Amino acid sequence: MTAHPSTVETTRPPFWRDLRVLRAFAQVAAVAGAIFLFRWILGNVTTNLESVGIRTDFGFLNGPAGFQVANSDFEPAQPVSDVILVGVRNTFALAILGIPLLTIFGVLVGVARLSPNWLVSKAATTYVETLRNIPPLLVILFTNALILLLPRIQEAATPFGWFVISNRSISVPWIANGSGAGTYWMVLAGTLLGAVGIWVWRTRRSDASGEPHHRVLWSGLFFIGVAVVAYLLLDDPIALSRPELEGLVVTGGFLTLANYVTVLIALSLYTASHVAEIVRGSIQAVAKGQVEAANALALGSFQRLRFVILPQAFRIALPPIINQYLNFVKNTSLALAIGYAEVTTIVFQVIGNGNPAPQSIVLLMAVYLTFSLVISLIVNYVNRRIQYVVN
């Protein structure tokens, strides 16, 4: 009557319609294609470099760099690998100050955009809509044009005798180590650990008994107290060093190059406009019921923001904000346009000194990929830590 079931089972489609065969074939083809393309490019690079007599390995990293780097004790005779490390350090110097700056400013502007005060919110909106719609490179170039308005080094401004400001460099007072400074710094590090311990202790105690924790007061007083006592005992281990202008050289203090300040300010302002938008969106994403509940508890507007809205908005905002940090780090490469010696500028100079371009740029990309990888690992870790666990 009906077909025998076994004939249905044994009928396999022909191999060109067999899904398993097709899947295997597609993957092998894709991988083979990728490998072929890669080999082809590599082969071309090798042939081309050899035909013009440029080496094809990374041995150039051991050769002398042959150029100096501003505001660094790098010697031209040192190898290329060292100068690239100087560049990485300078990129890092931008990130370490820029990220806190842009975060603080971005959060302030983002909160201001939602202010009930019409003028404040309009000011924040103007700022965000202006900066967000202009290329970051243009912001850097324009800031550079403004910084060039500062006096020349010969006529550097010295406000209050504490700063030396010129269009070449900007110096701020800094700590100078005297005798016994090493001991003092170690004491301070130990005290900091102690202060953190006190902080944790006060928090736990407050959680357990409900008495006010006063943790800022406790650990602050402890830290300051020990720092002052140690300072007196060690007989002036550190001192404040003022920058001073001697001819064309600034001595003492801490010297930052004008183009470092340019990139720092320009990129922080630019990225802050993006952070502000994220902050605004996150605050608006906090459920309306939370605000109403805070009002029902008669919290003031500051308390409402500090204890109810911001902690929740923070969870929503953090991953995209860290993404903006990554963008900031990638955008520091624009410093090439005004010659601040971060890693892209350095690699550009390395290539200009006759070192092979393909390898140098691959190395540069590897540097940025490392930055990206580290930051995305942080994002993943933070995401796991701060998200509510919903089961």
Partner 1 sequence: MAATTPVQSSRRPSAPTFVQWSRKNLFPNWYNSVLSIIFGALFVWLGFSLFRWILVTADWEIVIRNLTLFMVGQFPRDELGRQVGSIILIAAAIGLLAGAATANARARAMEAGLPFDISTPRDWLQRFWPMLLLVVILLSLTRTITPTLMTIAALVVGVAARYLGLYLPSAARRRASLIFAVLVVAAVLVLWGFGGVPPDRWGGLHLTFVLTVSGIVLAFPLGLMLALGRRSTLPAVRLLSVTYIEFIRGVPLITLLLMGIFALGFMLPPGVDPSSFVRILVAITLFEAAYLAENVRGGLQGVPKGQTEAAQAVGLAPWKTMRLIVLPQALRSVIPAMVGQFISLYKDTSLVYIVGITDVLYVSKLVNAQPEFFGQGLSRVTLPFVGLIYWVGSYTMSRESRRLEKKLGVGER
Q: Kindly report the backbone phi and psi dihedral angles of residue 290, in degrees, each rounded to the nearest multiple of 5, phi listed first.
A: -65, -45
CB 221 to partner 1: min, Å: 30
Residue closer to partner 1 (CB basis): 148 or 175: 148
* Choices 25-33, 61-69, 214-222, 306-314; region in contact with partner 1 by CB under 8 A: 25-33
Q: Is 58 in the site for partner 1 (CB under 8 A)?
A: no
Q: Which residues contact 334 (CB under 8 A, 6 or more apart)?
A: 136, 137, 140, 263, 267
> Which CB, 245 or 329, lies closer to partner 1?
329
- Asked if 374 touches partner 1 (CB under 8 A), the answer is no
34 lies in the binding site for partner 1 (CB under 8 A): yes
| Cα 23–chain centre separation | 42
Total binding residues toward partner 1, as defined by CB under 8 A: 57
Q: Name residue, tokens 């203090």.
A: 253
Site residues (CB under 8 A) for partner 1, limited to 103-132? 115-120, 122-123, 129-130, 132
Of 131-150, binders to partner 1 (CB under 8 A) are: 132-138, 141-142, 145-146, 148-149
Asked if residue 369 binds partner 1 (CB under 8 A), the reply is: yes
Interaction between residue 62 and partner 1 (CB under 8 A): no
Binding segment for partner 1 (CB under 8 A), chosen from 47-55, 77-85, 281-289, 304-312, is 47-55
Residue 38 makes contact with partner 1 by CB under 8 A: no
Collapse the DSSP code of 47 into the 3-class scheme (helix H, G, I; strand E, B; otherwise coil) and give the result.
helix
Spatial contact of 340 and 257, defined as CB atoms under 8 Å apart? yes
Question: Maximum Cα–Cα distance for the chain, whole Å?
Answer: 109
Residue-wise burial string across 87-126, b where 16 or more C-beta atoms lie within 10 A, e elsewhere: beebbebbbeebbebbbebbbebbbbbeeeeeeebeebee
Of 282 and 331, which CB lies nearer to partner 1 in the complex structure? Answer: 331
Among 125, 234, 368, 382, binds partner 1 (CB under 8 A): 368
Q: What six digits make up the tokens of 324?
A: 């903006």
Q: Which of 92, 94, 101 is nearest to 374 (CA)?
A: 92
Six-digit token string for 60: 């150039």
Helix (H, G, I), strand (E, B) or coil at 1: coil
Residue 45 touches partner 1, criterion: CB under 8 A: yes
The answer to whether residue 351 forms part of the interface with partner 1 (CB under 8 A) is yes
The encoded tokens of residue 367 equal: 């540097």
> HSE of 165 in the Cβ direction (CA atoms, 13 Å)?
13
**Which position among 93, 114, 291, 357 is part of the footprint of partner 1 (CB under 8 A)?**
357
Q: Applying CB under 8 A, does 27 fall inside the site for partner 1?
A: yes
Q: Comparing C-alpha atoms, which of 276, 307, 274, 270 is closest to residue 108?
A: 276
Residues in touch with partner 1 (CB under 8 A)? 23, 26-28, 30-31, 34, 41, 44-45, 47-49, 51, 115-120, 122-123, 129-130, 132-138, 141-142, 145-146, 148-149, 330-331, 333-334, 336-337, 344, 347-348, 351, 357-358, 361, 364-365, 368-369, 371-373
